[in-house]
Amino acid sequence: MFNEFQKQCEKLAGKVEIPPKGIDADLAAPCFEAAKKEGRSPVEIAKELEAKFKKLPNLIQKIEAKGPYLNFYINYDEFSKLVIDEISRRGDKYGSADKKKTVVIEYSSPNIAKPLTIGHLSTTIMGQALNNIYTFLGYKVISDNHLGDWGTQFGKLIYAYKTWGDKAKVEKNPIEELLELYVKFHREAETNEKLNDEARAWFKRLEDGDKEAKEIWEWFVEVSLREFDRMYRVLGVKFDHSIGESFYMPMLKDIIQETLKKKVSKEENGAIIATFDDMPTALVQKSDGATLYLTRDLATIKYQKKEFRFWKRLYVVGSEQRLHFRQVFRMAELLGYIKEGECVHVDVGQISLPTGRISTRKGNVVFMEDVVNKTIEMAKETLKKKNPDLKNSDEVAKAVAIGAIKYSNLSRDRVRDMKFDWNEILSFEGDTGPYLQYTYARANSILKKTRSKPSKNPVYEEAVEQSIIKKLSQFSYVLERSAEENKPNLIANYIFELATLFNEFYHTHKVIGSDDEAKRIALIKSVMQVIENGLDLLGVSVLDEM
Ligand code: ARG
């Protein structure tokens, strides 16, 4: 509904904007441009506009010239009931849109035979959230898990498995065993140069389609995916496709030729490289003929542009790969696969744990699963203390823990690094998942007590009620911006502000038994719906009780 109000303002005064905090207007039209055009002062223009409109459209209560701005104020008598009505009518679709364009979103993209680590946690969660947001806005989303299933490391792994491996052990505990074999290979190779030759030979056999090598590799892929899927299920993460890097192998020869022909790359000392004015050189093919991660990314773009005809392709990947993607995207543009801006690196900062808080398993990495399990355990303890009589407490604890992890990741500016601190993210106070879930549950407890039907024609006079109405009306505006900037944190921050306003209202206003019960119930229901819609996009579930 806020955009209806905005449209009415724009019809009167052209471009309007949301004024900065501290200015009490709901929208403001800066008069600088008109002033420049007419060679007059903006203050004068604002004054003139203020006097010009005698009869205002229904959503505008008043207009007021303030310096070089024309300020607009919402007519809450009309506005409130429209907002409440729209939310109750559209329910869990409130805020959604119908954009239709195709967006490919790539996220998680772990490497086969390696664990999902705490590093994958943020990209996986962020990617799924963007998938949810774009889908809600009516984009046709195609999600892709770009599995790292190719590369010389598989030669090492096959060799290590054939030399030291145990099939039953790998079946039972695939990632941990394979990681151990990999670590062992590197340890042994330090004193035995021959091992690297053996590994290269195995990788060559794999590339040449040797039956045994291929079977072992396929098995690595299969057991790894089984493990990944377990985590994805816990986190509510889904993909339409999981196209591994190996899929693009048959296309690489032609792509490399194309880069040469189009002078995007050149030969140097037997290798093929691409040079740039403003970036370091990129390797397209090694001198021994081996292809590379970057080349497979070029093939991915060419293939998917043709196959999916995407409007945009988003790469939700850690910021340490920033240079890689700049190089890939530039080359793809020069090759004519895409236009500038069609591929976007949605870069995500790193997460670090407070040292000593969790033991690292083999290979000195922090497993995502360990972090998640520890969070669930801690949530169980917290809930036991806070609400010993809670029904389904294990399930609730899981929802609180997963919600806390996701919310903490999604509420920060994604490019900034994050410190993962259990006490902080599980706190019931402050900008946390549990705080929002608790706010929702508290609102729900009022609904359970009321006998009133929500009012259909509410008029709100109190400032905090009006602020809540305005916030509610801005939901879709926030969603659009969050998609534009690929920043789920805008939604998280919005829900937090809404919840804060609601709690302010809750602490200062009586609902049950007050004269205003029916209209306050309408407000509470709307707040709950919007919190639910917003948290749902972040993958955080709401709880009726906690
Ligand atoms: N598998 C890679 C890694 O774990 C990430 C892949 C990112 N995506 C891409 N299209 N290059 O480092």
Q: What is the pLDDT of residues 4-15, one digit of tens each?
A: 999 999 999 999
Alpha carbon nearest to ligand 1 atom 4, residue: 110
Computed over its alpha carbons, how large is the radius of gyration of the chain?
A: 28
Q: What is the pLDDT of residues 374-414, one digit of tens each?
A: 999 999 999 999 889 988 899 999 999 999 999 999 999 99
CA of 362 to the centre of ligand 1 (A): 22
pTM of the model: 0.94
Kindly report the backbone phi and psi dihedral angles of residue 338, in degrees, each rounded to the nearest multiple of 5, phi listed first: -140, 165
What is the band of 288 on the pLDDT scale with cuts at 50, 70, 90?
A: confident
Alpha carbon nearest to ligand 1 atom 5, residue: 109
* CB-CB contact of 76 with 469 (8 Å): yes
296 lines ligand 1 (CB under 6 A): no
Q: How far apart are CA 173 and CA 160, in angstroms?
A: 16
Angle subtended at Cα 269 by Cα 266 and Cα 270, rounded to the nearest 5 degrees:
75
pLDDT at 96 over 90: yes
57 lines ligand 1 (CB under 6 A): no
365 lines ligand 1 (CB under 6 A): no
Alpha carbon nearest to ligand 1 atom 1, residue: 148
Residue reference for tokens 């119908």:
98
CB atoms within 10 A of CB 131: 25
CA of 462 to the centre of ligand 1 (A): 52
Q: How far apart are CA 10 and CA 457, in angstroms?
A: 27
Atom of ligand 1 nearest to the CA of 293: 11
156 lines ligand 1 (CB under 6 A): no
CA of 425 to the centre of ligand 1 (A): 28
At position 309, the amino acid (one-letter code) is R
In this prediction, residues 177-188 reach a mean pLDDT of 92
CB atoms within 10 A of CB 141: 21
CA pseudo-torsion sign 18, 21, 22, 24? positive
120 lines ligand 1 (CB under 6 A): no
CA of 110 to the centre of ligand 1 (A): 7
In this prediction, residues 37-64 reach a mean pLDDT of 93
CA of 52 to the centre of ligand 1 (A): 59
114 lines ligand 1 (CB under 6 A): no
Q: What is the pLDDT of residues 451-468, one digit of tens each?
A: 989 998 899 999 999 999
What is the band of 360 on the pLDDT scale with cuts at 50, 70, 90?
A: low
Q: What is the pLDDT of residues 295-319, one digit of tens each?
A: 999 999 999 999 999 999 999 999 9
525 lines ligand 1 (CB under 6 A): no
* pLDDT the model gives residue 359: 60
Sheet with 343-348, edge to edge strand ranges: 140-144, 102-107, 312-318, 343-348
492 lines ligand 1 (CB under 6 A): no
CA of 395 to the centre of ligand 1 (A): 33
Helix (H, G, I), strand (E, B) or coil at 237: coil
CA of 247 to the centre of ligand 1 (A): 14
2-74 folds as Gyrase A; domain 2 (3.30.1360)
- Residue 295 exposed, middle or buried by CB count within 10 Å (0-12, 13-18, 19+): buried
CA of 146 to the centre of ligand 1 (A): 7
pLDDT at 180 over 60: yes
Q: Among residues of the chain, what percentage have pLDDT more than 90?
A: 86
What is the band of 356 on the pLDDT scale with cuts at 50, 70, 90?
A: low
| Numbered ranges of CATH 3.30.1360.70 in the chain | 2-74
Alpha carbon nearest to ligand 1 atom 6, residue: 109
CA distances from 152 to 133, 148, 156, 290, 448 (A): 37, 11, 7, 9, 61
* pLDDT the model gives residue 468: 97
Identify which of 321, 323, 337 to mutate to test ligand 1's pocket (most ligand atoms within 8 A of the CB): 321
More confidently predicted of 423 and 487 = 487
CA of 324 to the centre of ligand 1 (A): 10
* pLDDT the model gives residue 526: 97
Packing angle of the helix pair 211-235, 194-207 (nearest 10 deg): 90
Identify which of 123, 144, 146, 337 to mutate to test ligand 1's pocket (most ligand atoms within 8 A of the CB): 146
CA of 4 to the centre of ligand 1 (A): 43
In this prediction, residues 193-213 reach a mean pLDDT of 93
* pLDDT the model gives residue 486: 97
315 lines ligand 1 (CB under 6 A): yes
CA of 200 to the centre of ligand 1 (A): 22
CA of 106 to the centre of ligand 1 (A): 9
146 lines ligand 1 (CB under 6 A): yes
* pLDDT the model gives residue 361: 58
pLDDT at 66 over 80: yes
49's enclosing H/E stretch is helix 42-52
Alpha carbon nearest to ligand 1 atom 11, residue: 297
Closest C-alpha among 87, 216, 222 to residue 161: 216
Atom of ligand 1 nearest to the CA of 328: 11
pLDDT at 357 over 80: no
What is the band of 345 on the pLDDT scale with cuts at 50, 70, 90?
A: very high
In this prediction, residues 76-91 reach a mean pLDDT of 96
CA of 419 to the centre of ligand 1 (A): 23
pLDDT at 364 over 80: no
In this prediction, residues 517-529 reach a mean pLDDT of 96
Q: What is the pLDDT of residues 256-283, one digit of tens each?
A: 999 999 999 999 999 999 999 999 999 9
Residue reference for tokens 């090598």:
213
